[in-house]
Amino acid sequence: MAILDRIREPRDLDALTLEECELLAAEIREFLIAAVSRTGGHLGPNLGVVELTIALHRVFRSPRDPIVFDTGHQSYVHKLLTGRRDFSGLRSRGGLAGYPQRAESEHDIVESSHASSSLSWADGISRAFARRAETDPSQQHRHVVAVVGDGALTGGMTWEALNNITDDNDRNLVLVVNDNGRSYAPTIGGMARFLNSVRSKDAYRDLQEGSEKLFSRLGTPGRTVYRAARGAMRGFVSRASDNQDLYSNLDIKYLGPVDGHDLHAVEEVLRQAKGYGRPTLVHVITEKGRGYAPAENDIADQFHAIGQIDPGSGEPVEVVGGRSWTSVFRERIVDLAEADDRIIGITAAMLVPTGLDLLASRLPGRVIDVGIAEQHAVASAAGLAYGGLHPVVAVYATFMNRAFDQLLMDVALHRAGVTFVLDRAGITGPDGASHNGVWDLATLQVVPGIRIAAPRDAQSLWEELGEAVAIDDGPTVLRYPKGAIGDDIPALRRLNDGVEVLRETEIARREYRDVLFVAVGPMASIALAAAEQLERDGISSSVIDPRWVVPVSGSLVELAEQHRLVITIEDGIRVGGVGTRIRQALRDAGVDTAVSELGTPDAFPGHASRAELLADAGLTADQIAAAVAEQVRGDRVPIARPAASDRPVS
C-alpha cells in the first residue's frame, strides 16, 4: 500500500504520475476487497469506480467543487481519497457510514441514499454558485459534479432535472453517467437498450479490445501511442453516436463513451468537460466488480452488497440467523400466484433483494421490473388493477416514501386492489438514516381505506399475504423487517376479527388485569419477554398481536377496556404511529384506559445494529418492563368485565 499510504487528502493525488495513479488503483482494489470482506458492504459498485473517482479528484477541487454521488453506495473510494482509511467499523456504530455523511467529512455533500436525485441536487447547487458569483468573485469558477449510474436514469427525477438543467446553460455543471449496465441487477428498459447500443458500437469495441492488445505489446511507448489513438477514436465514436444520441435532443453537450478504467482517457474527457463552462454530460463505461473475479462472475448482482465473505473465494463466511423474512415471502408469492393467475409482481430494479426472482423464474411474464421508478410502479399498478389483475408491489419500506402520492391518489382514491409488500420495514441498522424504514406505519395509515398487516413470524406472514391478495377493494400493505425471521410464536387463541392473544397470566384472567401489550409484528417476542419479567414482579399482563394493525379491530378496543394500561410497541416512529391510532380508537369508543405508545424517536436513526438502535429507542424487554412497572405501581382496582368474544386458533 505504498502509494495509498501517501494519500491523506485529494490534493496528494496531484503529485502522482499517471503510472503511479494506475498502481494506486490496484492498491485501492486490494484494500477494498480485504476490508469489505471483513465487514460486509457495497463491494461491487466501488470496485467499478476506482479510476473514475481518482480522475474526478485529480481534475476537480473537492470540496470547493462539490462531487455529488447518486445513491452514494459507490463512495468508498471517495472516502479513501479524502483521508478516511479506517474501514474496520464500516457500517457499524462509531465506524464509517456506508454512504456519504457530512459529519465524517467536508467532502461529503448529499447523505440521502435514494437514487435519481443527484442531478436535482447538482442543478440547485450550480444555480446557487452562478448567482453568488455575480457579486462575489470568490465564488467564480466553481464546478459541480454529479455522478449518476445508468440504473438511476430509469428514474423520472433524472429527466425532470435534465429538462431544467438544459434550460439555463450558463453554469459550470458536469454530469458523469457511470454506465455499467446495472442498477442493483441489470438495468432494464429502453434506456438500457440505448446505452447498450452505444456501448456495443464497433468503433468503441475495437478501441476497447483491438487497440489495447496491439499497443500493449510495445511497452511504455506503446501505451503512449495507444492513449493518443484512444483520444482520436473517442471523438469518432462520439460523432458516430450523434445521430442516435438522445442527449443531443436535450441541448446538452455530450462527451463519450469513454473507458472508465483508462485513467488517461477519463482525466482527459473530464478536463475537457470542465473547460466548457456549460452543463456537460460525460458518458463513462465501467465494469461493476472490476478486478475481483468472484464479483465479475456473479451474474445476479456482481457483489452489489455483501455480508462477510472469504476474500479469496468470495463465498460467505457463515450464514447467520437462518431463514429470512424475504425468503418466506419469496416462496409464498409463488404459491399464491400459481393458484391465482391475476397476481402479478412489480419490482423497482430490485428483483432479487425483494424476493420476486423466484416468481419471475417459475412463472415467466408474471413480474414487471420498472427500473428505479417507484412512482411509476404504483400508478401502473392502479392501471393493472383496473384491468382485472392483482398487482403485488414489492419494495423496501424506505423507498415507498417516494410513491406516497400515487398510493393516495391513484390506488386508494380509485379503490384499486393493490398489495404492497414492504421489505426492510422498521429499524434496519447498518445502512443508516435513509434506509431505516421507520416511517411507513405513520405515513401510510393516513390513506383512507388502507389495510396494513404486520406479521410476527413466518406462519403469520404466510397467512397475512394470502389475506392481503384476496382484498380487491383498496390497497393492502404487508410489512416486515430485515434479517432472520426467528421461530414461530404460537397464539393461545384467535378472536373473531383476527386478533390473536399470545399471552394471559392466571392472575389476569382471575382477578384483575394490569397491562395489555399490543405488539406490532416482530415486536411480539419483545412484548412476551417484557410480560414475563412483569409477572415476576406481580404485575399481570396480556399480549396480543393485532395482525392487521390498520384499521383498529373492535376486539382490541374491548380488551383495552379490561386493562388498566395499554402499551403499544412498534419499531416505527411513534409520532403518528399505530399507538396513536389505537389511542384515537379508544377515545372514539369512550374507553378511558391509559395508553403509552412505544416506538422510535422523532429522529433519523444512524448506522448501527438493529439491536443497538432498538435499545436507543427503549425498545428492549428489560427497558419496557422497567418503564411499565414504574407506571402501574400503586393501588390496583380489580376489573371484572366480560372477555372479548373469541374462537380457537385455526
Q: In this structure, what CATH number is given to the domain that contains residue 389?
A: 3.40.50.970
The response to whether 73 counts as a known ligand-binding position is yes
> In Å, what is the CA distance from 252 to each residue of 232, 363, 423, 493?
22, 42, 38, 65
pLDDT of residue 207: 47
> Which one of 79, 84, 332, 402 is the catalytic residue?
402
Is the domain of 68 the same as that of 130? Answer: yes
For residue range 145-154, what is the model confidence (pLDDT) as tens digits?
A: 999 988 888 8
Candidate from 266-275, 381-390, 640-649 with smallest mean pLDDT = 640-649
Is the domain of 205 the same as that of 147? Answer: yes
Average pLDDT, integer, range 18-25: 96
Is the domain of 39 the same as that of 183? Answer: yes
Q: What would the grid cell of residue 438 be?
A: 421507520
> Which one of 22, 51, 267, 374 is the catalytic residue?
374
The pLDDT > 90 percentage for the chain reads 67
Map grid coordinates 450558463 to a residue.
170
Q: Is residue 152 part of a domain?
A: yes
CB atoms inside a 10 Å sphere around CB 243: 7
The response to whether 141 counts as a known ligand-binding position is no
Residues 377 and 154: beta-carbon distance below 8 Å: no
Burial 405-426 (b: 16+ CB within 10 A, else e): ebbbebbbeeebbbbbbbbbbb
The response to whether 414 counts as a known ligand-binding position is no
For residue range 588-598, what is the model confidence (pLDDT) as tens digits?
A: 999 999 999 99
Q: Is residue 559 part of a domain?
A: yes
**Coil, helix or strand for 177?**
strand
> With bands split at pLDDT 50, 70 and 90, how would you rate the model's confidence at 388?
very high
Asked if the model's pLDDT at residue 197 lies above 90, the reply is: no
The response to whether 292 counts as a known ligand-binding position is yes
Tell which of 249, 275, 296 closes a domain. 296
Candidate from 88-92, 294-298, 552-556 with smallest mean pLDDT = 294-298
Q: Is 288 a catalytic residue?
A: yes
> In Å, what is the CA distance from 23 to each residue of 79, 269, 270, 365?
18, 21, 20, 46
Q: Is residue 310 part of a domain?
A: no
**Coil, helix or strand for 453?**
strand
Is the domain of 440 the same as that of 412? Answer: yes
For residue range 235-248, what is the model confidence (pLDDT) as tens digits?
A: 433 433 443 465 66
The response to whether 113 counts as a known ligand-binding position is yes
For residue range 542-596, what is the model confidence (pLDDT) as tens digits?
A: 999 999 999 999 999 999 999 999 999 999 999 999 999 999 999 999 999 999 9
Which residue, among 453, 583, 475, has the nearest Cα to 521 in the 3D structure?
A: 453
Q: Which of 78-82, 177-181, 196-200, 311-315 shows the highest mean pLDDT?
A: 78-82
Q: At what angle do helices 524-536 and 621-632 cross, to 10 degrees?
A: 50
Q: Is 402 a catalytic residue?
A: yes
- How far is Cα 355 from Cα 347, in angstroms, rounded to an integer? 9
> In Å, what is the CA distance from 245 to each residue of 167, 198, 256, 416, 514?
19, 9, 11, 39, 70
Asked if the model's pLDDT at residue 643 lies above 50, the reply is: no
Is the domain of 556 the same as that of 600? Answer: yes
Whichever domain contains 637, its CATH number is 3.40.50.920
Q: Is residue 306 part of a domain?
A: no
pLDDT of residue 155: 85
The pLDDT > 70 percentage for the chain reads 85
- How far is Cα 428 from Cα 435, in angstroms, rounded to an integer? 7
> Which one of 142, 288, 332, 610 is the catalytic residue?
288
Range of the domain at 522: 493-647
Please report the DSSP string for 180-223 in residue order: -SBSSSB--SHHHHHHHHHHT-HHHHIIIIIIHHHHHTTHHHHH
Is the domain of 18 the same as that of 159? Answer: yes
Is the domain of 463 the same as that of 554? Answer: no
Backbone angles phi, psi at 414, to 5 degrees: -95, 10
- How far is Cα 186 from Cα 557, in angstroms, rounded to an integer? 49
Q: Identify the sign of the CA torsion 208, 209, 214, 217.
A: positive
- How far is Cα 99 from Cα 78, in angstroms, rounded to an integer? 10
Q: Is residue 57 part of a domain?
A: yes
Q: Is 79 a catalytic residue?
A: no
Q: At what angle do helices 263-274 and 219-241 cross, to 10 degrees?
A: 50
Asked if the model's pLDDT at residue 522 lies above 50, the reply is: yes
> With bands split at pLDDT 50, 70 and 90, how would you rate the model's confidence at 489?
very high
Q: Is residue 275 part of a domain?
A: yes
Residues 390 and 343: beta-carbon distance below 8 Å: yes
> With bands split at pLDDT 50, 70 and 90, how would you rate the model's confidence at 311?
confident
Name the residue type at position 497.
D
Average pLDDT, integer, range 370-390: 95
Is the domain of 249 the same as that of 337? Answer: no
Is the domain of 217 the same as that of 332? Answer: no
End-to-end Cα distance, the chain: 63
Q: Is residue 307 part of a domain?
A: no
Asked if the model's pLDDT at residue 508 lies above 60, the reply is: no
Tell which of 454, 479, 504 closes a domain. 479
pLDDT of residue 644: 45
The response to whether 115 counts as a known ligand-binding position is yes
How many domains are contained in the chain? 3
Tell which of 479, 501, 523 closes a domain. 479
Is the domain of 51 the same as that of 108? Answer: yes
Asked if the model's pLDDT at residue 201 lies above 50, the reply is: yes
pLDDT of residue 128: 94
> With bands split at pLDDT 50, 70 and 90, how would you rate the model's confidence at 249?
low
CB atoms inside a 10 Å sphere around CB 213: 10
Is the domain of 426 the same as that of 506? Answer: no
Q: Is residue 150 part of a domain?
A: yes
- How far is Cα 213 from Cα 209, in angstroms, rounded to an integer? 6
Candidate from 126-130, 292-296, 540-544, 632-636 with smallest mean pLDDT = 632-636
Is the domain of 264 the same as that of 406? Answer: no
